[in-house]
C-alpha cells in the first residue's frame, strides 16, 4: 500500500538527483525495489529535453533548471509537506527498516527538532567512528553526513532555516553545506539529537573523503574563517598538519595547500564584503 493512502503519513524523503527521465533509478535505493511504498519529493536538476514525471500520488517531482546541490535542497524545503523529512541523494541504499527507525526516534524523543543517524559502507562497515546516542554540539556536527539528517518540517520553517547556497557541490565552496545547516539549527535554539541507529548504506569513497584535495582545503578554509575570523588562519595551519599526519598530503605539498587555503579565505572575505555572506 502506498503511503499516499495512509492516514498516518509521517515521513517524506527529499531526494536530490540530476538528469533523470525515469523513476527506474529509485529501484536500487529501496529495500526490494519498493520505492512506491514511500513518500518522496524528487528535485531533478536537468534540462528541458530530459524531464522526469511521476504517475504516483505519493511521489512528487519538480524539474529544476538551476544547478547546485544546496539550490536543490532549498527547493525541496520550499515544497516539502511531510511532518518529518529526510535529506536524500540518489547514491544510497536504505536499510530495510529505515522508515520505522526514523519515526520511532521522533516518537521517543518528542522534544527533538532534528535527528541524525548512522550509516554503513557497502561492505557493511561503520562509515565513521560513531558514539552512543547523545545531544549534538558544535563538535559532533562535524561528523554528520547530509543523508542521515532528518527533521520536523515545522521546526525548520518556523526558524526560516535553509541551506547556504555558497557551500556544497556545485557552489563556490564544495563542502560543509550540511554542517552550516546544522549550526544554523543550533543557533536558532533547535534541539538536535544523534540516534545511534543505522538507516542506510553509502559508498565509502564519498565526496567528503578527499580531505587533502584542493577543493576541500579551499572550502574548509572558508568555513574556518566564517566561524573563527582571524583565528581561521590558525585553524587552516592546524588542519593541514592533521591531514599531513594522516598522509592525505605530503610535506612537499604543505605550502601549496596552505596557499589554496588562503585563496579560500580570500574568496570568502570578498563574499562577506559584498554582503553575500555573514559571520
**Predicted confidence (pLDDT) per residue in 223-271, tens digit:** 999 999 999 999 999 999 999 999 999 999 999 999 999 999 999 999 9
Q: Cβ distance 279 to 229 under 8 Å?
A: yes
| pLDDT score at 204 | 81
So where are the chain's domains?
3-202, 214-273
pLDDT at 209: 54
pTM of full prediction above 0.75: yes
Helix extents (H) in 14-97: 69-79
Classify residue 74 as exposed, middle or buried by CB count within 10 Å of its CB (0-12, 13-18, 19+). middle
Q: Which of 144, 175, 149 lies closest to 161 in space, CA to CA?
A: 149
User: What SS3 state is found at 235?
Assistant: helix
Multiple choice CATH, 3-202, 3.40.50.300, 3.90.550.10, 3.40.140.10, 3.40.50.1110: 3.90.550.10
Residues in CB range of 148: below 8 A, 6 or more apart: 87, 116, 117, 118, 119, 199, 200
* Average pLDDT score over residue span 10-33: 95
> pLDDT tens digit string along 36-92?
999 999 999 999 999 999 999 999 999 999 999 999 999 999 999 999 999 999 999
Pairing of strands 114-120, 59-64: unpaired
pLDDT at 263: 98
- The confidence score (pLDDT) of residue 95 equals 96
Q: Which residues pair with 151 in a beta bridge?
A: 85, 114
Sign of CA dihedral 33, 39, 44, 49: positive
Cα distance between residue 58 and residue 60, in whole Å = 6
C-alpha torsion 5→7→8→9, nearest 10: 50
Please state, in angstroms and rounded to a whole number, the distance separating the CA atoms of residues 157 and 73.
14
- Identify the three-state secondary structure at position 121: coil
Amino acid at each position: 500500500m502506498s503511503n499516499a493512502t495512509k492516514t498516518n503519513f509521517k515521513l517524506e524523503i527529499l531526494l536530490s538527483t540530476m538528469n533523470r527521465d525515469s523513476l527506474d533509478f529509485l529501484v536500487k535505493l529501496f529495500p526490494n525495489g519498493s520505492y512506491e511504498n514511500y513518500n518522496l519529493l524528487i528535485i531533478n536538476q536537468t534540462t528541458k529535453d530530459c524531464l522526469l514525471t511521476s504517475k504516483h500520488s505519493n511521489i512528487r517531482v519538480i524539474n529544476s533548471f538551476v544547478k547546485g546541490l544546496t539550490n536543490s535542497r532549498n527547493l525541496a524545503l520550499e515544497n516539502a509537506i511531510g511532518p518529518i523529512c529526510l535529506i536524500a541523494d540518489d547514491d544510497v541504499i536504505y536499510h530495510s527498516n529505515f522508515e520505522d527507525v526514523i519515526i520511532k526516534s521522533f516518537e521517543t524523543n518528542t522534544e527533538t527538532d532534528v535527528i541524525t543517524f548512522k550509516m554503513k559502507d557497502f561492505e557493511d562497515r561503520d562509515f565513521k567512528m560513531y558514539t552512543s546516542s547523545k545531544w549534538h554540539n558544535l563538535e559532533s556536527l562535524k561528523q554528520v553526513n547530509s543523508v542521515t539528517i532528518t527533521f520536523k518540517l515545522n521546526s525548520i520553517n518556523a526558524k526560516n532555516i535553509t541551506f547556504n547556497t555558497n557551500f556544497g557541490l556545485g557552489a563556490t565552496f564544495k563542502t560543509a553545506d550540511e554542517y552550516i545547516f546544522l549550526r544554523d539549527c543550533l543557533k536558532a535554539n533547535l534541539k538536535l539529537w544523534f540516534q545511534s541507529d543505522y538507516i542506510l548504506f553509502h559508498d565509502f569513497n564519498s565526496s567528503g573523503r578527499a580531505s587533502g584535495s584542493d577543493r576541500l582545503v579551499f572550502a574548509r578554509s572558508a568555513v574556518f574563517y566564517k566561524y573563527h575570523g582571524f583565528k581561521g588562519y590558525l585553524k587552516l595551519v592546524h588542519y593541514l598538519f592533521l591531514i599531513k599526519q594522516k598522509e592525505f598530503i605530503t610535506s612537499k605539498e604543505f605550502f601549496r595547500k596552505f596557499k589554496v587555503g588562503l585563496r579560500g579565505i580570500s574568496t570568502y572575505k570578498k563574499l562577506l564584503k559584498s554582503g553575500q555572506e555573514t559571520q
